[in-house]
């Protein structure tokens, strides 16, 4: 998978990313796109269109997510990351969605996404899976005009936001990374992390391209 767009978007927000299987020495967690999550994790058989599972990555990211939530560490989950966040909370996925291209999204009032983007925005769309049953404790923060869930949040946590689209590839969506960066720096300052010009977030080691 190509991590360069993520790294560039994080860099503009004053963040750097390290690829490791623990949260040691970091102030945030980024869950990137990638291969489909193993349907066993939400109690379904693998559909013909679903990728061969990457069980190692699933396990590492679920562990990182659980640890980040236990620390109330800022989390930004993109595409596969949002789907993993939903499965972690007991939700399920639609295993195949026909491609739609760019489309409009309605944002839930009072959500973090609403504070960043307002009530409506246009997004790109490359995913072929989506949230089917939302997991417990999650707020539906955005929904496409065709009904597909495009954003979820944990409103009880400092910053735990998942989006279905790829904001790292949309220059006008930098506000999401800026908000994530502000939350990361605040968490780091409150938890005694060394203050530097660039704060560091963790992402799981990149896996094979699906």
Q: What is the mean pLDDT of residues 89-118?
A: 94
Print the domain residue range for 54.
4-203
Residues 131 and 153 sit within 8 Å (Cβ to Cβ): no
Q: What is the pLDDT of residue 194?
A: 61
Distances (CA, A) of 76 to 45, 51, 95, 117, 118: 28, 23, 22, 15, 18
CATH of the domain at 189: 3.40.50.880
Residues 158 and 187 sit within 8 Å (Cβ to Cβ): yes
Q: What is the pLDDT of residue 124?
A: 87
Is position 139 within any domain?
A: yes
Residue 207: which pLDDT band, with cuts at 50, 70 and 90? low
Is position 208 within any domain?
A: no
Diameter of the chain by CA atoms? 48
Q: Residues 74-83: pLDDT tens digits?
A: 999 999 999 9
Distances (CA, A) of 195 to 115, 119, 176, 179, 199: 27, 34, 22, 18, 8
Q: What is the pLDDT of residue 208?
A: 47
Q: What is the pLDDT of residue 3?
A: 92
Residue 70: which pLDDT band, with cuts at 50, 70 and 90? very high
Q: What is the pTM of this model?
A: 0.95
Q: What is the mean pLDDT of residues 109-137?
A: 93
Q: Is 78 helix (H, G, I), strand (E, B) or coil?
A: strand
Percent of the chain with pLDDT strictly greater than 90 = 84
Is position 44 within any domain?
A: yes
Give the Cα separation of 37 and 151 in Å (integer): 18
Tally of CA atoms within 13 A in the half-sphere of 71 that contains its CB:
21
- Mean of per-residue pLDDT scores for the chain: 92
Say whether pLDDT at 96 is over 60: yes
Say whether pLDDT at 192 is over 80: yes
Q: What is the pLDDT of residue 210?
A: 38
Residue identified by tokens 């938890």 is 191
Q: What total of structural domains would you count in the chain?
A: 1
Ranking 113-122, 179-188, 196-205 by mean pLDDT, the lowest is 196-205
Beta partners for 162?
77, 152
Say whether pLDDT at 126 is over 90: no
Cβ atoms within 10 Å of 66's Cβ, excluding its own: 11
Say whether pLDDT at 127 is over 80: no
Q: What is the pLDDT of residue 202?
A: 87
Tally of CA atoms within 13 A in the half-sphere of 184 that contains its CB:
31
Give the Cα separation of 134 and 42 in Å (integer): 11
Q: Residues 17-32: pLDDT tens digits?
A: 999 999 999 999 999 9
Is position 209 within any domain?
A: no
Is position 107 within any domain?
A: yes
Is position 118 within any domain?
A: yes
Is position 172 within any domain?
A: yes
Angle value at C-alpha 111, between 126 and 90, nearest 5 degrees:
65
Is position 165 within any domain?
A: yes
Say whether pLDDT at 195 is over 80: no
Q: What is the pLDDT of residue 155?
A: 97
Say whether pLDDT at 53 is over 60: yes
């Amino acid at each position: 998978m190509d991590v360069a767009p993520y790294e560039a978007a994080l860099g503009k927000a004053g963040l750097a990313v390290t690829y490791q299987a623990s949260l040691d020495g970091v102030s945030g967690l980024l869950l990137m796109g990638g291969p489909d999550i193993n349907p066993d994790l939400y109690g379904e058989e693998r559909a013909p269109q679903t990728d061969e599972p990457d069980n190692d990555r699933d396990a590492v990211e679920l562990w990182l997510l659980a640890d980040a939530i236990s620390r109330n560490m800022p989390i930004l989950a993109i595409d596969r990351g949002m789907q993993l966040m939903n499965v972690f909370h007991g939700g399920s996925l639609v295993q195949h969605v026909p491609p739609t291209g760019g489309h409009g999204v309605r944002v839930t009032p009072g959500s973090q996404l609403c504070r960043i983007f307002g009530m409506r925005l246009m997004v790109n769309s490359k995913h072929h899976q989506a949230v089917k049953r939302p997991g417990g404790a999650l707020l539906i923060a955005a929904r496409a005009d065709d009904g597909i869930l495009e954003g979820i949040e944990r409103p009880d946590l400092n910053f735990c936001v998942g989006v279905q689209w790829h904001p790292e590839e949309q220059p006008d969506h930098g506000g999401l990374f800026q908000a994530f960066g502000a939350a990361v720096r605040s968490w780091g300052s409150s938890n005694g992390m060394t203050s530097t010009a660039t704060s560091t977030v963790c992402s799981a080691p990149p896996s094979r391209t699906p």
